[in-house]
């Protein structure tokens, strides 16, 4: 089994694998191209993202500077918006529903490293998917960790650290995030 196959299946893998390194370098080239497209060139930016992401709706917009590992593991629905300095580490799939917005400095992080220091030093890591339902709004500086799923109509408060999954129609906030309000 290749390191990429292990990564996609959520098994421990070596990110230093030359195929994975080459794919991350390709992604950085695409991200530099995206950053060079003027903000007012909405159609050109969307076209590049549609060819880069795993799947998209017809309408999407991502502000500069956007960072990700691979691009092909990112799937966004219709009317997706990511504000400035969004980071999506897509070692596993990231699925984002329709009508979702990410505020500035949001991080969706699928990668995680072993707790054991000798395993960590070996370069071994793993990843778990992140899923956001429809109509999610993730506030500024929020961090969503590996394996988290959020239901439909979830608002994540600014600065929240989301360490576990939550259902529909909620406002969550804090570190670790907890339910603040039912919608």
pLDDT digits (tens, 9 = 90+) for 169-183: 999 999 999 999 999
The 161-162 sheet, strands edge to edge: 67-68, 87-89, 107-109, 143-144, 161-162
- Fold assignment, 3-182: UDP N-Acetylglucosamine Acyltransferase; domain 1 (2.160.10)
pLDDT per residue as tens digits for the range 129-139:
999 999 999 99
Q: Domain extents for the chain? A: 3-182
- pTM across the whole model: 0.96
| Residue 112 is among the residues annotated as catalytic for this protein | no
**And the tokens for 113?**
């490293």
Of 75, 112, 113, 182, the catalytic one is 113
């Amino acid at each position: 089994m290749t390191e990429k196959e292990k990564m996609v299946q959520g098994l421990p893998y070596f990110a230093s694998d030359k195929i994975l390194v080459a794919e991350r370098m390709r992604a950085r080239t695409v991200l530099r191209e995206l950053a060079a497209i003027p903000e007012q060139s909405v159609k050109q930016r969307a076209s590049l993202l549609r060819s880069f992401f795993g799947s998209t709706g017809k309408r999407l917009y991502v502000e500069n500077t956007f960072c990700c590992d691979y691009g092909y593991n990112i799937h966004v629905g219709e009317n997706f918006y990511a504000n400035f300095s969004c980071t999506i580490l897509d070692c596993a799939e990231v699925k984002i529903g329709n009508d979702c917005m990410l505020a500035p400095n949001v991080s969706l992080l699928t990668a995680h490293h072993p707790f054991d220091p000798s395993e960590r030093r070996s370069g071994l890591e793993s990843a778990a998917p992140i899923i956001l339902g429809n109509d999610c709004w993730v506030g500024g500086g929020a961090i969503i960790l590996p394996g988290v799923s959020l239901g439909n109509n979830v608002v994540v408060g600014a600065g929240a650290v989301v360490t576990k999954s939550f259902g529909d129609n909620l406002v969550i906030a804090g570190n670790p995030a907890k339910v603040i309000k039912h919608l």
